Amino acid sequence: MQIDKLFNESENPPSIVVIDRVLPEIDSGKFAIKRYIDEEIKITAHLLVHGHDLPKGRLWYRHETEKNYTKVDLVSKGNDEWEASFKPKKLGRYLCKIEAAKDSFTTWTTDLKKRINAQQDIKVDLQIGESIIKHTWRHTPQGKHKDILGEALRTIGTWSSEKSQTPKTILNFFSSPVLEAAMNEFFENPVWYDHELPIQVEPLLARYSSWYEFFPRSTVSKDIPHGTFKMAQDRLNYIKDMGFNVVYFPPIHPVGREFRKGKNNSTKAEAGDVGSPWAIGAKEGGHKDILPALGTLKDFKGLIEKARSLKMEIAMDIAFQCAPDHPYVKAHPEWFKHRPDGTIQYAENPPKKYQDIYPFDFECKEWKSLWQELLSVVTYWVNQGVRVFRVDNPHTKPFHFWEWLIREVRLKNPEVIFLAEAFTRPKMMAYLAKAGFSQSYTYFTWRNVKWELTQYMTELTQTELKDYFGANFWPNTPDILHEHLQEDNPGVYKQRLILAATLMSNYGIYGPAFELMSYQPKEKGSEEYLHSEKYEVKNWNLDDPRSLAPFIRQINQIRENHPSLQQNRTFRFHPVDNESIIAYSKTHGDEKIVVVVNLDSRRSQSGLVELPLIDWKIAESENYEMEDLLTGVFYTWRGWRNFVELRPNQPAHIFKLKTHKNKLVASGANA
């Protein structure tokens, strides 16, 4: 509100109510907060009035496709804090606004109660109350509420004096919920919060997802050198058995031949080398086409249908870049940056050169036609049935482009989910989330010790990031084999899997490299895989007896069976007197899941874990049981500090807290 403008242009005094500290909102309503279908959306605000007058307020909300708003009363939570909530029933964008006004009636009834309790004369007070109701009746449109107010006035008119009614009768009359509701309809001289609050409502899959990445071209056998979509259909059963609900493919388009990369990222390809699928485009087509060796569009759509029948979604890679022989290069040279010698600028990250990749020039004169074409790529695949996209390096394209593209897609298809593969600076990652990305890759891969994990999870779950940044934790990717995983040690792979799957409700792995513990780097000090699958077809032995697939299945089943692990809003850490052990919990209703992890992959560690018994309404003298969901064993705990010991080969407890006796009880928690 501009006070000088108000003073100079308004004949009436401004409302005495101030709306302050509205939460959640992002950058004063510039960007939408993220919520999920059928999840309660809670809006809070501070309503302030000078003196002792009381305010009232309400939240108005509508889906952007609807004209009419629905209103919900703001409820006082004390200390000038008010809140309202609603559950969205449609995907897409909602718009909210907040209205407030002085609550003359509640202020009066509050004072009346005090006067009656003090046994003061209330004759004049009743006249004031009658005038307040009469004033409201005059400004209330015809209908139920006006009828209620009219009946109230007639009742008051029958009172010859306040002595004809007992104080209790008077208070009960004016405190009637029916009368209060009717009085609350009229807001005199209201004030509105100065902007609307946008809320993007996304599918539950955006909040809770377990991703499995694999290369469909590697679904091979001794007799078949290149995998196909039909062969990948068989792999879906294996992935479903492990409990994943999103299957992500690297790009499935024709791979460029010019400057094709060879095995181990060699700059020279040999005969038969398949190249990197991220070098998109060849004579067979571009971003709207499929690599013929994988199959046909019909095969791909059949794969989507098979996945959906297994309650999984296929995630498609969107990499907006071109191989030198992509059809766009000849058809639209104006979309690319040209060097002084007339050649097209290939991708560089000095001193590295990527001659097999041409980036688009988003600042070219023909930028509008470029944007429209790239939007058409996404909408084309949406029309083929794709509902989830993993976007490659979005931080190397303009933010406004993504904001526009995602908005355009969701106007027709609000169910579409976008994952940003943006290993970049924190503020850039955050802005991409504001621009509309549902989820984002994170720094989890490089957060391994207790203080790093604690600091990072606190940032993700306790700051404003929690309202718009959908973190997705990946222990590995085809590009990243962290040194932590560069050892033949099943315990460390289990540790990183448990952390990813229980710290965050969205997580993923690159397989079969992860479950088969492919641990050899290209060279010492490198995070690249030796014989990287990015540049060659792999024949994985899924029947390897050392495979972690059964353990992964167990972790995903625990996630599926426990709603606490399907969200991040209740996440909290718990003290442990050992820097090599980390403990945290998530809750949902009465369910409490406590996770304790040994961060030392080589040695057993023990310590005392502290739990918030007061918050969880458990008496310090009360026995309670901790069911280890990994082993099925029950441990009896008592008090707020209890002992745990974890060995490297069994690096964690995933406890479900219970306050009643169970069959198998062990004293202490030694694993």
The upper half-sphere exposure of residue 373, i.e. CA atoms within 13 Å in the direction of its Cβ, equals 17
512 in Cβ contact with 214 (< 8 Å): yes
Nearest-angstrom CA–CA distance, 167 and 112 = 10
Nearest-angstrom CA–CA distance, 333 and 370 = 11
Question: Is 624 annotated as belonging to a binding site?
Answer: no
Assess whether 305 carries a catalytic annotation: no
Question: Is 328 annotated as belonging to a binding site?
Answer: no
DSSP labels, 259-310: T---GGG-SSPPTT----TTSB-BTTB-TTS--GGG--HHHHHHHHHHHHHT
Nearest-angstrom CA–CA distance, 402 and 12 = 45
Burial class (CB in 10 A: 0-12, 13-18, 19+), 206: buried
Q: How far is CA 389 from CA 93, 415, 431, 571, in A?
A: 19, 11, 18, 27
Phi, psi of 290 (to 5 degrees): -115, 140
Nearest-angstrom CA–CA distance, 363 and 244 = 40
Q: Which residue(s) pair with 539 in the sheet? A: 219
Residue 420 amino acid letter: A
444 in Cβ contact with 424 (< 8 Å): no
Question: Is 283 annotated as belonging to a binding site?
Answer: no
Question: Is 427 annotated as belonging to a binding site?
Answer: no
Pairing, β 313-318 against β 388-392: parallel
The catalytic position among 25, 317, 421, 625 is: 421
Residue 415 amino acid letter: E
Using the Cα atoms of residue 612, residue 594, residue 599 and residue 511 in order, give the sign of their dihedral. negative
CA 139 to mean position of chain CA atoms = 44
Nearest-angstrom CA–CA distance, 231 and 228 = 5
Question: Is 117 annotated as belonging to a binding site?
Answer: no
Nearest-angstrom CA–CA distance, 318 and 278 = 9
Using the Cα atoms of residue 202, residue 203, residue 205 and residue 207 in order, give the sign of their dihedral. positive
Which element (helix H / strand E) includes 530? none
The upper half-sphere exposure of residue 348, i.e. CA atoms within 13 Å in the direction of its Cβ, equals 7
Which residue, chain included where needed, has tokens 């290993």?
Answer: 423
- Give, as one character, the DSSP assignment of residue 254: P
The catalytic position among 317, 392, 515, 628 is: 392
Assess whether 317 carries a catalytic annotation: no
Burial class (CB in 10 A: 0-12, 13-18, 19+), 164: exposed
Which residue, chain included where needed, has tokens 């002992």?
Answer: 643
Specify the 3-state DSSP secondary structure of 187.
coil
Question: Is 534 annotated as belonging to a binding site?
Answer: yes
Q: What is the CA radius of gyration of the chain?
A: 31
Specify the 3-state DSSP secondary structure of 532.
coil
666 in Cβ contact with 635 (< 8 Å): yes
Q: Give binding residues for alpha-maltose 1-phosphate as ranges.
A: 261, 321, 356, 393, 534-535
Where in the sequence numbering do the catalytic residues fall? 392, 421
